[in-house]
Amino acid sequence: MSGASPLNNDGSFLSVRGLSLSYDLPGRTFWRPAERRPAIRDVTLSLQPGERVGLVGMSGSGKTTLLRSLLAMELPDSGEITCQCKPVRPASVPLMRWYRRAVQYIPQDPAASLDPRMTVQALVAEPLLRLHVDCDHVQRAQEALEQVGLDRRLLTRRPGELSGGQAQRVAIARAIATRPSYLLADEPVSGLDLPIRAQVVAMLRSLSEATGTGLLIVSHDLSVVSSLCQRTLVMDEGSIVEDRPTASLLRSPRHPRTRDLIAAILPLSVPVVTAPL
C-alpha cells in the first residue's frame, strides 16, 4: 500500500530527527513538580525501504522507548518522525490508521498479546478490521498464515492449542496481514527455545527478502542481529552511539559500549578453539 507513496526527501522510508523523551520520576507532590529522567536524547536516524536493522544496547539504554516512539505509542518532548513525507505525530485519525497499516509491531510475548478466546483466523484478520483494510479478510488471513510457514488448518485453533513457536508465527502473521512496509519488533524470539528461535529468524529473513518488508529489531541477542540485520544501531544512555553495517560493527566495534556488548556474549557463545601445535 505504501509503495505508491513517495519516500522522504532523503530517500528514507522513516526518518527521525532530534527525538528526545523524558519520563517523570516518582516523588511528585502538589508543591514539588516531578523530576524528569531522559530516556532518549536527541536521536536522529533514517530507515531505508526494505532494510533490516538491529537495535542493541545495555538494559535501560532506551531501546524500547525509541521503538514505542516509532510506533507512535509515546509522544516525544521534542523532535519529529516522518514517514513517506508525512509527520507521524500529531496526526489525524486517518493518517494514524494509514501509519499503523504501514508500520506494524511484532510483540515479544504472543501468550500475552493473543486473545485466548479468539481463533487464529479472527486474530490474524483483526488488524484488517480495526484498520479498515478493504480486502477479503478470510483470504488475506490465509495468505499471511502461509507466509509464516503455518498450515491453514490452524486457522480454527485458539492460542491455547498452539506451541510457542506456532503462537509467535501467528503473531507475525497478524503483523504482516496489512502488508506493512516495516515491521518493528522488541525481542521477537527471546521467548522461544533455541532451535525454534533459529527457524523463526530464518523465516523473518526470507519474508523480508521476498516481500521487501523492512525490519527494526530490538534484541539482546547479537547472534539474532548478526543473522538477520544488515545494519545495527547501538544505544547508550538514550543516544545512538554507533550505527554501522552489522558485520563490520561486530568485527571491529568502535564505541566502548559496543565492545562491552560483544564481550558480554563471547564467554557464553564462542567455543575456545586452540590452534594445533
| Residues found near ligand ATP in the complex (CB under 6 A) | 23, 39, 57, 59-65
What is the β-pairing status of strands 231-236 and 239-245? antiparallel
- Give the residue with the Cβ less far from ligand ATP, 145 or 233: 233
Closer CB to ligand ATP, residue 176 or residue 185?
185
Nearest distance from residue 203's CB to ligand ATP, in Å?
A: 24
Which cell is 42 given?
536527541
Phi, psi at 184, each rounded to 5°:
-110, 135
Can you say whether residue 64 is alpha, beta or left, with left for phi > 0 and alpha for psi between -120 and 50 degrees?
alpha
Q: Which is nearer to ligand ATP, 59 or 92 (CB)?
A: 59
Answer yes or no: are the C-beta atoms of 191 and 108 closer than 8 Å.
yes
CB of 118 to ligand ATP, least distance (A): 28
Nearer of residues 60 and 245 to ligand ATP, judged by Cβ: 60
CA 83, 246, 256, 191 torsion-angle sign: positive
Minimum distance of ligand ATP from residue 21's CB (angstroms): 9
| Amino acid at the residue 229 | C
68: which residues sit within 8 A by CB, 6+ positions away?
Answer: 74
Q: Which amino acid is at 74?
A: E
> What does DSSP say about strands 182-186 and 214-218: parallel, antiparallel, or unpaired?
parallel
Nearer CB in complex with ligand ATP: 61/84: 61
Structure-block grid coordinates of residue 148: 509464516
CB of 100 to ligand ATP, least distance (A): 21
Nearer to ligand ATP, 33 or 60 (CB): 60
- Beta bridge mates, 183: 104, 215
215 vs 233 by CB, closer to ligand ATP: 233
> Minimum CB separation from ligand ATP for residue 168, in Å?
18
Whether the Cβ atoms of residue 215 and residue 228 lie closer than 8 Å to each other: yes
Quote the least distance from Cβ 83 to ligand ATP, whole Å.
21
Instruction: Determine the number of helices (DSSP H) and then strands (DSSP E) in the chain.
Output: 10, 10
What's the closest the beta carbon of residue 186 comes to ligand ATP, in angstroms?
8
